[in-house]
Amino acid sequence: MAAKGSRGSILLEISIVLLALLLIAVIIVPNQIWEDELQTTIKCHDNVNAIYEAERFHYQKIGAYTDTFSYLLTTVQTDSGLMQRQTLVSLTQSFMRVAENILSIPSIETISKISQASFEVTGDLFGNERYFRRYENIAQTSQEIVREMTRLDSSIAFPNFSRVKLFVDSLRFIKESVSDYSLQIAIFRSINYVDSLKEYYFSIEKDAFNQFWKDEYKKISNFITDIRATDISKVSTVPDRLKKFIDQINSSVQILNNANFSDDASNIENEKQNLIELHQKFLSPEFFILTKRYSLTALNEIDSILINLSQEDFLCPDSKEPYLIDTTRRRLTVECPNLLNVFHQKFSSDIEPIKNIPVYQQISDLSSVIDSTKSVLDANRAILRRNIEVLIQIKELMIEFEEMDNVFFYRYVNEINDFIQLIDKEIKLSVIKPTIENILNPMDTLATRIDQVNVSDLEKKLNYFNDKLKDLDSTVATIRLPASVRRQVISNSQPFQQTFAIVNDIKSNFKPEYSEALRKTSKSLENNLLEALEGEDEAKYVIFNKKHDNHGYIKGGEKSWEEEK
Q: How many residues can be counted in the chain? A: 565
pLDDT surpasses 70 at 130: yes
| pLDDT (average), residues 220-244 | 94
CB 162 within 8 A of CB 142: no
Q: 0.85 exceeded by the pTM? A: no
pLDDT tens per residue, range 52-103: 999 999 999 999 999 999 999 999 999 999 999 999 999 999 999 999 999 9
pLDDT tens per residue, range 518-550: 999 999 999 999 999 999 887 776 677 888 999
pLDDT tens per residue, range 309-321: 999 999 999 999 9
299/93 Cα distance (integer angstroms):
11
Residue 494: other Cβ atoms inside 10 A: 13
> What is the per-residue pLDDT for 7?
60
532/535 Cα distance (integer angstroms):
5
CA-based nearest residue to 151, from 181, 183, 114, 186:
114
Which burial class, exposed, middle or buried, applies to 442 when counting CB atoms under 10 A from its CB (0-12, 13-18, 19+)? buried
Domain residue extents for the chain? 80-306, 358-534
pLDDT tens per residue, range 465-485: 999 999 999 999 988 888 888
> What is the per-residue pLDDT for 8?
61
pLDDT surpasses 80 at 235: yes
pLDDT surpasses 70 at 19: no
pLDDT class of 212 with cuts at 50, 70, 90: very high
316/150 Cα distance (integer angstroms):
62
Burial 108-141 (b: 16+ CB within 10 A, else e): bbbbbbbbebbebbbebbeebeebbeebeebeeb
pLDDT tens per residue, range 309-366: 999 999 999 999 999 999 886 789 999 999 999 999 999 999 999 999 999 999 999 9
> What is the per-residue pLDDT for 183?
97
Give the C-alpha distances (Å, rounded to integers) separating 479 from 173, 203, 387, 466, 493: 90, 114, 9, 20, 17
pLDDT surpasses 80 at 17: no
pLDDT class of 35 with cuts at 50, 70, 90: confident
537 bridge partner residues: 547
Give the C-alpha distances (Å, rounded to integers) separating 68 from 29, 45, 74, 227, 559: 39, 20, 10, 71, 22
pLDDT class of 10 with cuts at 50, 70, 90: confident
pLDDT surpasses 60 at 2: no
CB 88 within 8 A of CB 281: no
202/266 Cα distance (integer angstroms):
12
Residue ranges in 63-79 assigned as alpha helix (H): 69-77
> What is the per-residue pLDDT for 219?
96
Burial 461-488 (b: 16+ CB within 10 A, else e): bbeebeebbeebbebbeeeeeeeeeeee
CA-based nearest residue to 514, from 360, 286, 338:
360
> What is the per-residue pLDDT for 564?
62
Quote the mean pLDDT of the chain. Answer: 92
> What is the per-residue pLDDT for 432?
95
> What is the per-residue pLDDT for 483?
87
536 bridge partner residues: 548
94/178 Cα distance (integer angstroms):
12
> What is the per-residue pLDDT for 371?
96
CB 249 within 8 A of CB 214: no
Which burial class, exposed, middle or buried, applies to 383 when counting CB atoms under 10 A from its CB (0-12, 13-18, 19+)? middle
> What is the per-residue pLDDT for 1?
46
Q: Kind of pairing, strands 553-555 and 558-559? A: antiparallel
> What is the per-residue pLDDT for 3?
53
pLDDT tens per residue, range 410-420: 999 999 999 99
Which burial class, exposed, middle or buried, applies to 205 when counting CB atoms under 10 A from its CB (0-12, 13-18, 19+)? middle
> What is the per-residue pLDDT for 328?
81
| pLDDT (average), residues 483-488 | 87
Per-residue DSSP letter, 399: H
423/473 Cα distance (integer angstroms):
44
Residue ranges in 384-481 assigned as alpha helix (H): 388-401, 408-425, 429-452, 456-478
475/497 Cα distance (integer angstroms):
19
